[in-house]
Structure 1
Amino acid sequence: MFRKLLPPLALVGALALVPVTTSTVAAADVDTYKELETFMGVFERVRANYVDKVDDHTLIKGAIDGMLAALDPHSSYMEGSDFQQLKSTTDGNYGGLGLSVTMEDGVIKIITPTEDTPAARAGLKAGDYISHIGGELIMGLDLDQAVEKMRGAPGSQVKLTIIRSGRDKPFDVTLTRERIVLRPVKWEVRDGIGVVNINTFSGNVGQETEAALTAINKATAGKPLGYIVDLRSNPGGLLDQAIQVSDAFLERGEIVSERGRAKDDIERFYAKPGDLTGGRPVIVLVDAGSASAAEIVAGALQDQRRALVMGEQSFGKGSVQSVIQLGQDSALRLTTARYYTPSGRSVQAGGITPDVAVPQLTDPDYKDRRVIREADLRRHLIAQSTVDDKLLERDTTPDPRFTQTAAELDKRGIKDFQLYYALQTLKRLAPGAAPAKVAAGGGPVRSR
């Protein structure tokens, strides 16, 4: 989850307010200056004696990257093409394959493919590993270098070698790069139920969600049976958009709180009056790819008793990254806070637990495929919950509702079991209603 980009001189201006004086230096931690002396000693030795000549910029950037990598998986320094890619991604228009990835033991691991992108259409899944890019083993490359190899001009192709749990051997997938223009919000009406699919939280998602709810209300003559908010495989995005989306379903109450290092560094965000759904029942779908801003929405509606959350345990990214632009072409992405749901739950490393756990039975690999969550990432932040989390005894008895196989469901024409189950549940929540078959009013809802 990201805060909006700060202006280029924000950090410079802040530093200018603290003049360096003799008393300031005298009060500084002596141990810190000893560590800095060690750093400068290493810097000078490398500069003078390394087998090949290395420019100062390479050494300093490497030191910055190493410093931030020692903190957590989400803090980083960006410049050049990396910085431009970040800005394009948060704007919802960028070039590539449509993958959210991380690095584990020298191999790229897919967190989630983005809907309607080359990666999703090729069938790549959360938990897949990428061992080769273009036939080249990526072991030894850092994450930025590996991602750079997957980028390229729209229309060009790249071959990825995929390792998937449950498969006997790796397999190759050839993808055609394209300009990724996200359609973050899509909607349709199924049997009188409005389905809103939100696949990212880039700019204007809040407005597009409100437009989708208005369109669904019109398509059902003002009488929808309820709403399904599909946040599966949504990697998150902007904090303000998550707040606006949550607010569309709430009449009042807290949505989320941010808590920084200091005990009194707390910021709370509240819903404004006006539930655009008119209080009708809501189901939120999540899975292991639902992260960050998606978890804010799910957690807010769950804690406020406004929605039933279904699906699988979410990713568990409960930290806030502030993007501080340092110059015209560089920025610092720094973890500055944890966020908490209205009841005081920290989502960090634990995620959102669905009210009703529903496996994706129409995915033939779902039992064997290993998914990745925040808790699997090295140096992930530890949760700091403000409430007592009591461990519940897990019931390992097979659920008779979920015994069908993917082949059996396919014969019945069911392509997405989690969505199917949510639709059936909403119909049961409206007994006596006779849902008319309403034609899909789908497609993307674009802001105007």
Structure 2
Amino acid sequence: MNLKKSYIAAIMVAALLLGGVGAYFGVQLAQSQDSTAQQGGNGGTFADLSEEEQQELIGSSQGNEKLAKVNKAFNLIKDSYLEDVEDSKLIEGAIQGMMDSLEDPYSVYMDQETVEEFNHSIESSFEGIGAEVSMVEGKVTVIAPIKDSPAEEAGLKPNDQILKVDGESVEGLDLYDAVSKIRGEQGSKVTLEINRPGVSDPLNIELTRDDIPLETVYSDTKEVNGKTAGIIEITSFSEGTAKRFDEELAKLEDKGIDGLVIDVRGNPGGLFTAVEDILKNFIPKDTPYVQIEDRNGEKSRYFSEIDEKKGYPINVLIDEGSASASEILAGAMKEAGDAELVGTTSFGKGTVQQAIPMGDGSTIKMTLFKWLTPEGNWIHEKGIDPTIEVKQPDYFYTNPLQVEEPLQLNQNNDQVKNAQIMLNGLGYEPGNKDGLYDQKTANAVKSFQSDNNLDSDGKIDEQTANKLQADIVEKIREGNNDKQKEKALEVLFQ
């Protein structure tokens, strides 16, 4: 992979949201339904109301007879509880309880302090570890580490479950409280205890927080059998992403590219308006690039204004970290753009949220819509399968080495197996990759230690483990053995 700096925004703000996951960026969908969006049905949802009508509806609900029980509980606590309780605490607790009862990780309540904090965090850059997270089955779960971020460099992976932050459990916290604990000033350290699928024991990973810039689009070219392939990597969909994409696409087309690869691996989503503006470059006006469905089953279909597809082939790279807006792009390009999808199955987020101001600086973000592919498929919790499945080499999937006591001869465990895969990926030959620390493994470790000016005793201590892991991350970042990209380029001109 061409791993370059990108960014992480940390919460959904503004209006309608596709943002890959729980802690991300906002999107205005209602305003995107311009003359190019041919709609089916009148919907009649809360989102169709003006802000004044929304506030009036919120206010009128206070007199609803069904709230009598809530009012009774409120008054009972105020009049009889052992200690005085602030009105605001009870009210916000009631709202939080209602949102929790939905059992929807994408529908949340954000108090004024949370909204202000995360509005500020997306203005220019973001200080943190650079990982997109969501609440999945009650667990704070990594959707994707941001490329060239502390999270990626430390080895965080999609589907890692964060159990503790600096030794404190995050169980029972809502997503934004957990995110607040993970975030911090540039240069400060944080230790995460994580549960990784397929790994028996929790992993402890120390990260140094950094400043994550907001660049989201990178381009490159590659010569393939005498033809020029353009490559555009999109790391997330933010306000400036579509404009930057158009600029890079124009530069590539001016160079005379013969084909294009769009890379949205590890891209957790973002603004609906950004992905639809990008798709308007590729999907002809006779086919919708996406459909939006409301609670009544009414669908709105979105169309471009272009007459025909590009005159060159296009492939899209996806993986398990490609979510939401990335999946809209992949689904549209597959079903309406004749693109091959190369990689592994995507994350599977097929819902759209709206952030609704409550009038006092707080916000409720609530799921209001499904989004569907051009052919009407709903990919929620299923993801989009690639047309050409390609996994990366084994060392792309290795886990951080947790070395309390040195790994050495005759040990047989997952840590040894992990180290053997790393050694093999770096060009050393451990003899096997089954977890048995035999003499060939010890010899490979000695060679690695000698080449890196380490004590060549054939044992993997903390220093050797850290160097192994750092070199594997660097090898991945160099992108010289990116099997998915290689395959995407190979089939582009077939």
Q: TM-score, normalised by structure 2?
A: 0.68
AA at the equivalent of 1:145: D
CA deviation after TM superposition for structure 1 residue 348, in Å: 2.0
Match of 1:432 in 2: none
Deviations 1:153-199 (A, max 9, x none): 22322121233234453333222223322211111112221111111
1:268 pairs with 298, 301, 326, which one? Answer: 301
Any conservation in 2 of the 1:74–1:335 contact (CA below 8 Å)?
yes
CA deviation after TM superposition for structure 1 residue 206, in Å: 0.9
Cα distance between partner residues in 2 of 1:248 and 1:105: 37
Match of 1:95 in 2: 127
Match of 1:422 in 2: 488
Between the two proteins, what is the percent identity of the paired residues? 32
Runs of at least 5 residues in structure 1 that lack an aligned partner in the other structure: 368-404, 430-448
Cα distance between partner residues in 1 of 2:59 and 2:394: 62
Between 1:109-118 and 1:312-321, the stretch displaced more is: 109-118
Cα distance between partner residues in 1 of 2:181 and 2:57: 42
**What are the within-5 Å matches in structure 2 for residues 12-23 of structure 1?**
12-16=52-56
**What are the within-5 Å matches in structure 2 for residues 348-387 of structure 1?**
348-365=380-397
AA at the equivalent of 2:293: R
1:56 pairs with 80, 87, 95, which one? Answer: 87
Deviations 1:318-366 (A, max 9, x none): 1111122233632221211111111111122222121112222354537
Does residue 189 of structure 2 align to residue 123 of structure 1? no
Cα distance between partner residues in 2 of 1:243 and 1:63: 37
Match of 1:217 in 2: 253
Does residue 329 of structure 2 align to residue 289 of structure 1? no
Match of 1:201 in 2: 237
Cα distance between partner residues in 2 of 1:95 and 1:185: 20
Any conservation in 2 of the 1:409–1:415 contact (CA below 8 Å)?
no
2:76 pairs with 22, 45, 52, which one? Answer: 45
**What are the within-5 Å matches in structure 2 for residues 9-408 of structure 1?**
10-16=50-56, 33=65, 35-71=66-102, 72-88=104-120, 93-103=125-135, 107-191=139-223, 192-218=228-254, 221-222=255-256, 224-252=257-285, 253-263=287-297, 265-273=298-306, 278-327=310-359, 329-365=361-397
Runs of at least 5 residues in structure 2 that lack an aligned partner in the other structure: 1-17, 19-25, 32-48, 400-420, 428-474
Any conservation in 1 of the 2:112–2:363 contact (CA below 8 Å)?
no
Structure 1 residues 16 and 297, CA gap change in structure 2 (3 angstroms): same
CA deviation after TM superposition for structure 1 residue 299, in Å: 0.7
Q: TM-score, normalised by structure 1?
A: 0.75
Deviations 1:263-294 (A, max 9, x none): 4x43221122177x832111111112111111
| SS in structure 1 of the partner of residue 155 of structure 2 | coil
AA at the equivalent of 2:230: G
Cα distance between partner residues in 1 of 2:384 and 2:268: 14
Cα distance between partner residues in 1 of 2:392 and 2:77: 53
Structure 1 residues 19 and 418, CA gap change in structure 2 (3 angstroms): closer
Match of 1:433 in 2: none
Structure 1 residues 107 and 267, CA gap change in structure 2 (3 angstroms): closer
Match of 1:3 in 2: 27
AA at the equivalent of 1:130: I
Structure 1 residues 181 and 81, CA gap change in structure 2 (3 angstroms): farther
Structure 1 residues 283 and 76, CA gap change in structure 2 (3 angstroms): same
Supply the RMSD in Å over aligned alpha carbons. 3.2
AA at the equivalent of 2:486: Y
